[in-house]
Amino acid sequence: MRLNKEWTIKGIAMAVTGIILVLAGIAFAQHRNFKEEVVLGPGVTAVRTLGDYFTPLKGGPNDANVFILDSGEPGGTMLVLGASHPEEPATSLTAHLLVENARVEQGKLIVVIHSNPSASTVTRPGDAYPRFFHIESDWGIKKFRMGDRWANPLDSWPDPETYVHFPSGQLLAYMDVRNLNRTWPGRANGSLAEQTCYAFMRLIEAEGVDLVIDLHEAELEYPIIGTIVAHQRALRIAAMASMTLTAEEFRIGMEISPLALHGLSHREIGDHSNAPAFLAETPQPFLDRVRGITDESLLLTGKDEFVMKAGERGLLYWPIDEDGWPIDVRVGRHCSTILSIAEFWTMFNRSKPLVVTGVPRYADVVAEGVGRFFADPRGASAQVVLE
């Protein structure tokens, strides 16, 4: 009798566990397979994928879409990388906005919305991340995937005990073998992230890229925030952009990429190609360790009383008040930073001008909301690419 009771309890526990596993599995699969809809804007002249530059990636998890906006006029070529870390959603939104809105009058713009697509197919369930977020637009609600910092272990496994960066030999944390901003310049036979960086380096060579902007967001507890980090060959442009943006639009700093810190885009791209690299950071309270409820609202509004409290105690490197750091402000900052870097690139490189129009500046995105700049994928003439 007693045996039967025990087995009944065990049976119920197993059934409940099974149901939870199935429900969680469905939720994970929905997120992993969800595709964002990108409406090709007037400036897009071709859509390639990373596998076109490094065949082993073709058809795999990181065969990222590469949007080419070529003016047909001679000039500079700029590569903008969104979502190197997909848990920093203002970066993919900014890149997405560029694809749908930018017109290039001189030179060529190349945009990648999800630079490490695998990392955008997983979130952090242990940190209670939302799977999706939604942006309101004139025509309805547009849905996006939230992602993680590292490539999905389903696509890149196992991690080494210690990650030895190639080619410097520097020792880094084991999971950073899946972190796109620790695996530059990459290698052909390395981890998925290393192969992805290797493919980007081949793209930079093949397309004759002159400068790279890698978009990021950071927690306010982190000292590298609200700033442009620049390779030593990009300092003049970064300094001018930082000064002008701070005088005219919003406060943004400027830092020199450390010489001995390896794997980062702003160090390795500049060291291993002709293209100097910039990394732009906006503040994202969602990433702060001391945050409260980690939901879509925090992701979009950047308002959090616990992060504010940390600020009152002097624990943050960037200010925050009851207005928070809304997604429109963060995307607007990235838009103006990209435009400003392009303007100063042109000023210092008269023979290789880069003239981009159609992209809203900070004040426009804040006033109108980022959703205003996304087209209806069901519009009559919309050409849609799934991302």
Q: Among 11-19, 85-93, 186-194, 351-359, which window interacts with Zn ion (CB under 5 A)? A: 85-93
DSSP string covering 199-230, please? HHHHHHHHTT--EEEEEEEE-TTSSS-SEEEE
Q: Which is nearer to Zn ion, 264 or 359 (CB)?
A: 264
Q: Which is nearer to Zn ion, 37 or 217 (CB)?
A: 217
Minimum Å distance from CB 305 to Zn ion?
24
Q: Applying CB under 5 A, which part among 44-52, 82-90, 111-119, 222-230 lies near Zn ion? A: 82-90
Take residue 37 and report the two structure tokens written for it.
């809809």
User: Quick one: 88 or 148, whose CB is closer to Zn ion?
Assistant: 88
- Least Å distance, CB 213 to Zn ion, is 13
Shortest Å distance, C-beta 119 to Zn ion: 11
Q: Which of 56, 35, 258, 197 is nearest to 132 (CA)?
A: 35
Q: What is the rounded (10 degree) CA torsion for 31, 327, 98, 242?
A: -130
Residue 266 as a binder of Zn ion (CB under 5 A): the answer is no
Contacts of 302-311 with C-beta under 8 Å, sequence gap 24+, read 302/326, 302/327, 302/329, 302/330, 307/220, 310/220, 310/221, 311/220
Between 88 and 288, name the residue whose CB sits nearer to Zn ion.
88
Interface segment toward Zn ion; rule CB under 5 A; list 106-114, 186-194, 208-216, 335-343: 208-216
* 3-state DSSP assignment of residue 162: coil
| Cα separation, 354 vs 107, whole angstroms | 5
Q: Which stretch binds Zn ion (CB under 5 A): 78-86, 130-138, 310-318, 351-359?
A: 78-86
Q: Which stretch binds Zn ion (CB under 5 A): 1-9, 211-219, 253-261, 303-311?
A: 211-219
Which range binds Zn ion by CB under 5 A, 88-96, 121-129, 259-267, 373-381?
A: 88-96
Buried b (16+ CB within 10 A) or exposed e, 172-201: beebbbbbbbbbbbbeeeebbbbbbbbbbb
CB of 282 to Zn ion, least distance (A): 10
Which is nearer to Zn ion, 209 or 225 (by Cβ)?
225
Q: Provide the minimum distance between the beta carbon of 287 and Zn ion in the complex, in angstroms, as a whole number.
A: 9
* Closer of 111 and 119 to Zn ion (Cβ): 119
Among 108, 216, 231, 333, binds Zn ion (CB under 5 A): 216
Give the nearest distance from C-beta 24 to Zn ion in angstroms. Answer: 27
Please report whether residue 85 would count as binding Zn ion according to CB under 5 A: yes
Neighbours of 303 (CB within 10 A): 18
Query: Minimal distance in Å, beta carbon 231 to Zn ion?
Result: 17
Place of tokens 């210092």: 348
With b meaning 16 or more CB within 10 Å and e meaning fewer, what string describes 366-377? beebbbbbbbeb
334 binds Zn ion (CB under 5 A): no
Coil, strand or helix at 167? coil
287: closest CA among 86, 116, 17, 18? 86
Q: Which residues bind Zn ion (CB under 5 A)?
A: 85, 88, 216
